[in-house]
Amino acid sequence: MSHDKFIQRGAASLAVDTNGPARVFNFLLLPKLTMLAFSAAVEPLRIANQLAQKTLYEWYTVTPNGGPVTCSNGVTITPDMAMGDLQKGVTVFVCSGVEPHKTTPPEVTAWLRRHARLGVRLGGICTGAFALAQSGVIGKNRFTLHWENQPSFSEAYPDLVPTQNLYEVTDRLITCGGGNAATDMMLDLIEADHGPQMALVVADMCIHKRSNDRQAPQKSSLSVAIGSRNQKLLHAIQVMSQTVEEPLPLLELCATLDISRRQLERLFKKYTHQSPTQFYYGLRLERAHALMNETDMTITEIAAATGFNSTSHLARQFRTKYGVSPNSFRKAWSG
């Protein structure tokens, strides 16, 4: 395969003193992958080559059978090749997106498992961790995936705990939360290969403000989201988020926080315009909504996983928030 496609002409340049072989990445594209995350991972490689006017990196797109794959935004990508044997030193990124629990066929898990045994470095972009977990290759490695999909992932793989970070890099596994986090992840790899100046210029070419911290959180800070730095309020929301499956009675929550019920209610009313109970229900219903979208769990199982004592209780609250019953919601998406 010609290497011409890996170097483009550009105005900016940066001398790179290397004559070693190019580093090779294969991007395994699964149906409904997130195009933003995939392109955010590829473009830094292209820009690095353009700046150096050398083939520092090669990248190839792969699908299970070599056929086209359609992204979550409806754009179709024709890959370079089908899955097969890999050349020595290649890194494989699994690129996934919406409904990740449905898009990994058995031949993909077998392929990933076999190459993990051969020492291939694997990675996951956006929700690629689902395929990695399904293949049994995550092990004790630190890893992450998009925050939106973490609740359903934790239900499917309770023994695997993703971090909340933008990306994670270990000797055997490289993962990111998707979106622009893929750019931060690749800049980290580029810096390790060719130094901080190259990473800086690539980031500038992407017009990307680099986080410079792989442990930066994926979501905006809670204090920014609710417009308050009140530690009691932040702690209350943190405890609520951690006890969705077994919600604490309000008085027990107050005792845990060492705060009076009246004070807690005043804080929530001021900053969230809801009562603590309403806010708590909102967190639980958001989790239920995610599980209905991302898993094949029954409504009964989802009710138990979100702290509702019956499916009818969940249904009433769900209809109030989303205007439709859980069963109707699911039928609308499965039709």
Output the CA torsion 296→135→172→201 (10° steps). -50
Report d(CA 125, CA 29) in Å as an integer. 10
- pLDDT band, very low/low/confident/very high, at 2 (cuts 50, 70, 90): very low
Give the residue-averaged pLDDT of 62-75: 97
**Residue 274 and residue 285 in contact, taking contact as beta carbons nearer than 8 Å:** no
- Is 249 buried (19+), middle (13-18) or exposed (0-12) by CB count in 10 A? exposed
The structure tokens listed for 149 are 């999909």
- pLDDT band, very low/low/confident/very high, at 238 (cuts 50, 70, 90): confident
Report d(CA 132, CA 73) in Å as an integer. 23
Domain architecture of the chain: domains with CATH: 4-205 (3.40.50.880), 222-334 (1.10.10.60)
Name the average pLDDT for the chain.
91
CB atoms within 10 A of CB 324: 14
pLDDT at 335 over 60: no
pLDDT in tens, 198-229: 999 999 999 998 876 666 767 665 655 666 77
- Please tell me the pTM assigned to this model: 0.81
pLDDT in tens, 247-276: 999 999 999 999 999 999 999 999 899 999
